[in-house]
Amino acid sequence: MSRLKMPAPEAATLARRAEIVADMRTIVPGEGVVDTVNGMRVFESDGLTAYRQLPLVVVLPETVAQVARILKYCNERGIRVVPRGSGTSLSGGALPLEDAVLLVMSRFNRILDIDYANRVVVAQPGVTNLGITTAVEQEGFYYAPDPSSQIACSIGGNVAENSGGVHCLKYGLTANNVLGIEMVLMSGEVVRLGGRHLDAEGYDLLGLMTGSEGLLGVVTEVTVRILKKPETARALLIGFPTNEQGGQCVADIIGAGIVPGGMEMMDAPAIRAAEDFLHAGYPLDCEALLIVELDGPQTEVDHLIGAVEAIAKKNGSTLCRISTSEEERLAFWAGRKAAFPAVGRLSPDYYCMDGTIPRKQLPRVLAGMRRLSEEYGLRVANVFHAGDGNLHPLILYDANVPGELQKAEDFGADILRLCVEVGGVLTGEHGVGVEKRDLMPEMFNETDLDQQMRVKCAFDPNHLLNPGKVFPQLRRCAELGRMHVHRGQTAFPDIPRF
């Protein structure tokens, strides 16, 4: 699909842009300001690759003082700002805007302190998720939240989206593992929330910031909890003849009071793609594959393996393989971790969704997705965090075929409506961004959205920070309650699409 042609900018617009670029260079000297088309091209999209937009200018600060000056400057002049980490967002949360400064935090890439006594790490937001574990693993520690993109995604982005991962069932999402942050408000003020202590006083503003998608402030430092590696960790690879049986097994495991370290499920297309891609030893004759990891003291793990195996057999499992070594356990997980790129080999394009449902609704939702797949005539591969009901359907399409991208988006929207219908939510860990903003009224009424926007107004009264994300229609703070929230007729009309 060809790029949308944008009208030639007026002289006044060019002059204003030149002034902003020059002023940014006084704040961030050297190579910290990128304003050429070719230089900015690398930042024009994120993980939601169907949409692309060049920003006004890209700024890469290195100090908190620079971030504060940039935000204060933009606030005083009414210039919009889009914060960005590693650009791995899958909901369009870090998509640039043509009239906004793109504030890229990748140069904040140092670990500031490792405090084993208090079991915390203090890191700058540009440090990768995996980088934290790598820094402490020699002492037998690790950072629990582990998104599939952990080798690339930044801890600041994890805070913005409240990211999870395959071990979030037992050890929690980012919100459960972040103890403190330093952040800069749009006004340029620097504030600290939480710290190394376990409980914070006053309102839970740290909880509010985690998952706020860059709408409330820019994170410049993160204090995270690290954990001791468990004594024993073993995984079971369990195959089922149907997705419904696999989904019911998940519900029965949790219903039995067992909380695995991780519990992931893949359907047949995802299984075959992962096996062809990585040769992890996955069975190709199963319609559903469950990976269940149990960790803790060896005696407890041995007992729980037997209990899970019995539940699997009760649900008609046709395969139950138990890891006998650390290498085999990691091999079980390797296929799951590589599932997204593996599915990319099945089709020119795929659309990664993210919704969360009550675990007991897994069989119903899986059946519903099968019906939708037939209705839209598009294949779907399912890879998801089964233990906490966080679904990641991958809708396969070809953007070169006219209308297929729109069809994929409509299919995805119907999946999310199904999630809400069964008592779930629009997102588990990818955020709302632009992808789901027009679906917010499916879950929230006008009063709900008004209250959420009032929170936005308290932090950013001029609506300059990451505008166009999360809310279907962002209204002025003074007008809240007087303007009707409506769903957009066209998906993300403000962002060019391929």
Q: Please state the pTM of the whole predicted model.
A: 0.90
Closest CA to 322 of 308, 336, 334: 308
Whether 309 is covered by a domain: the verdict is yes
Of 122, 116, 88, 123, the C-alpha closest to 104 is 88
Residue 211 domain-assigned?
yes
DSSP, residue by residue, 282-344: --SS-SEEEEEEEEESHHHHHHHHHHHHHHHHHTT-SEEEE--SHHHHHHHHHHHHTHHHHHT
Report the CATH number that the domain containing residue 368 is assigned in CATH. Answer: 3.40.462.10
Quote the domain boundaries for residue 396. Answer: 232-430
- Whole-number Å distance between alpha carbons of 178 and 155: 10
Q: Tell me the CA distances in angstroms from 431 to 88, 90, 93, 205, 470, one per residue in order.
A: 12, 8, 7, 18, 8
Last residue of a domain, one of 228, 258, 279: 228
Termini Cα distance of the chain? 5
Task: Provide CB contacts within 8 A for 74, sequence distance 6+.
Answer: 80, 81, 101, 186, 464
Sign of CA dihedral 273, 274, 278, 279: negative
Q: Kindly give the confidence (pLDDT) of every residue in the chain, 498 residues in length, as a single tens digit, with 9 standing for 90 and above.
A: 334 455 555 788 889 999 999 999 999 999 999 999 999 999 999 887 788 999 999 999 999 999 999 999 999 999 999 999 999 999 999 999 999 999 999 999 999 999 999 999 999 999 999 999 999 999 999 999 999 889 999 999 999 999 998 889 999 999 999 999 999 999 999 999 999 887 767 889 999 999 999 999 999 999 999 999 999 999 999 999 998 899 899 989 999 999 999 999 999 999 999 999 988 899 999 999 999 999 999 999 999 999 999 999 999 999 999 999 999 999 999 988 888 889 888 899 999 999 999 988 888 898 899 999 999 999 999 988 888 889 999 999 999 999 999 999 999 999 999 999 999 999 988 999 999 999 999 999 999 999 999 999 999 999 999 999 999 876 767 666 433 333 333 355 555 554
Residue partners of 179: CB distance under 8 A and separation at least 6 = 120, 194, 195, 196, 197, 198, 206, 223, 224, 225
Q: Is 219:183 a contact under the CB 8 Å cutoff?
A: yes
Residue 194's CB is within 10 A of a number of other CB atoms, namely 22
Cα 120 from Cα 225, distance rounded (Å): 5
- Say whether 382 sits in a helix, a strand or coil: strand
CB of 160 closer than 8 Å to CB of 93: yes
Report the alpha-carbon distance of residue 348 to residue 346 in Å, rounded: 7
In a domain, 261, yes or no: yes
Same domain, 221 and 237: no
Residue 6 lies in a domain: no
* SS3 label, residue 367: helix
Tokens of 102: 């793109």
Residues 63 and 129 in one domain: no
Same domain, 16 and 123: no
Strand stretches in 60-149, DSSP E: 80-84, 100-104, 111-115, 120-123, 141-142
**450 falls within a domain:** no
Q: Do 100 and 135 reside in the same domain of the chain?
A: no
If asked whether residues 205 and 236 sit together in one domain, one would say no
Whether 485 maps to a domain, the answer reads no
User: Cα separations (Å) of 457 from 217, 292, 350?
Assistant: 12, 43, 36
Residues 41, 94 share a domain: yes
Q: Do residues 388 and 169 touch, judged by C-beta distance below 8 A?
A: yes
**Which residue in 113, 115, 136 sits closest to 123, CA to CA?**
113
Where helices occur in 7-119 by DSSP H, the ranges are 11-27, 37-40, 64-77
- DSSP assignment of 212-258, as one string? -TTSS-EEEEEEEE-EEPPSEEEEEEEEESSHHHHHHHHHHHHHTT-
Q: Are residues 322 and 424 in the same domain?
A: yes
**How many angstroms separate the CA atoms of 117 and 497, rounded?**
50
The verdict on 317 and 421 lying in the same domain is yes
Sheet holding 80-84, edge to edge: 33-34, 57-59, 100-104, 80-84
Judgement on whether residues 404 and 282 belong to the same structural domain of the protein? yes
Are 248 and 327 in a shared domain? yes
**Residue 408 backbone zone (phi > 0: left; psi -120 to 50: alpha; other: beta):** alpha
Residue that the structure tokens 């990818």 belong to: 430
Total count of domains within the chain: 3
CATH number of the domain that residue 43 is part of: 3.30.43.10
Please report, for the domain that includes residue 155, its CATH number. 3.30.465.10
Please identify, among 75, 104, 133, the residue that sits at the C-terminal boundary of a domain: 104
26 domain residue, yes or no: yes
**Same structural domain for residues 80 and 163?**
no
Query: Is 16 within a domain?
Result: yes
Residue after which a domain boundary falls, among 397, 430, 463: 430
Amino acid at 381: A
* Residue 371: its H or E element: helix 362-376
Q: Are residues 198 and 246 in the same domain?
A: no
